[in-house]
Amino acid sequence: MPPELFPETRVALPLDPGAVLLGGFALDAAEELLAGIAAIAAAAPFRRMETPGGRAMSVAMTNAGAAGWTTSRRGYRYTAADPLGGLPWPPLPLAFVALAGRAAARAGFASFVPDACLVNRYEPGARMAPHQDRDEADLAAPIVSVSLGVAAVFLWGGQARGDRPRRVPLHHGDVVVWGGPARLTFHGVDTLKPGDHPLTGPLRYNLTFRKAL
C-alpha cells in the first residue's frame, strides 16, 4: 500500500538547518498539480535539454513562470521565452504559487512567492546528478521541491560536491524546502527504478519552485 495513504507519514523531517522534508504536504493538491503540469506541457512540451558538454539529460524538462531554466552548449541560464518556439513560458498556475508559499511558510520561510517553476519528468532509468541551484538572482529565497508519482531517492549532500550524500526516500506528495544555510547544498535524484502510480503510471514528476529574477 502506498505510504501516502498513511496519515502518520505527514510529518516534518529536518534534513539540516534550513532544510526540511514535509511528508505528504502536497497530497491534497496532487491532482490539481498534475492537471497544471498537463496544461504547461501542452503549451511548452517536455524536452531533454543538452548540457554544455553536449550530452542530453535523462530527465525531460519544461518550465512555467516569468523565467524558465534552460541548458545548452552555451551554459545554464534563465530565459523569459521558451527557446523551442520563442513564446513566453506558460504562466504559473495559482495552485502552484499557493502550494509553494504554504510549504515555504511551514518550513520557516515566510512570504515566498516564486516566479519560476522547473518541471521535471522522470522515466525509469532517469536520474539527476548532484548539483547546486545557484543560477537564481535571489539566493536568499528558498527552493521548494514537490514530488508526484513514482517514489524516488533524493540525494541530499553537503556544501562541497564531494560530500557523501544521504539517501532520502521521496513519495507522492512529499515536499522538500531548503534555504538559508542549506540554500547551496548539493542535491540530486538517484536513478528512478521501475514502478507504477495510479495517477502517473511509470512516471515521476518534480516541481521545483524558485525566485529566479
Q: Which residue has the cell 513514482?
A: 150
Domains of the chain listed by start with CATH number: 3-210 (2.60.120.590)
* Residue 44 burial class via C-beta count within 10 angstroms: exposed 0-12, middle 13-18, buried 19 and up: buried
143 vs 209: CA distance, rounded Å:
6
Q: 85-121: per-residue pLDDT in tens?
A: 999 999 999 999 999 999 999 999 999 999 999 999 9
Q: 177-198: per-residue pLDDT in tens?
A: 999 999 999 999 999 999 999 9
Question: Residues 167, 190: contact at Cβ < 8 Å?
Answer: yes
Sign for the CA dihedral angle at 179, 76, 48, 194 comes to negative
98 vs 155: CA distance, rounded Å:
26
Tell me which DSSP letter residue 42 carries.
Answer: H
Q: What is the pLDDT of residue 72?
A: 81
Q: 15-73: per-residue pLDDT in tens?
A: 999 999 999 999 999 999 999 999 999 999 999 998 888 889 999 999 999 999 998 88
Q: Which residue has the cell 545548452?
A: 72
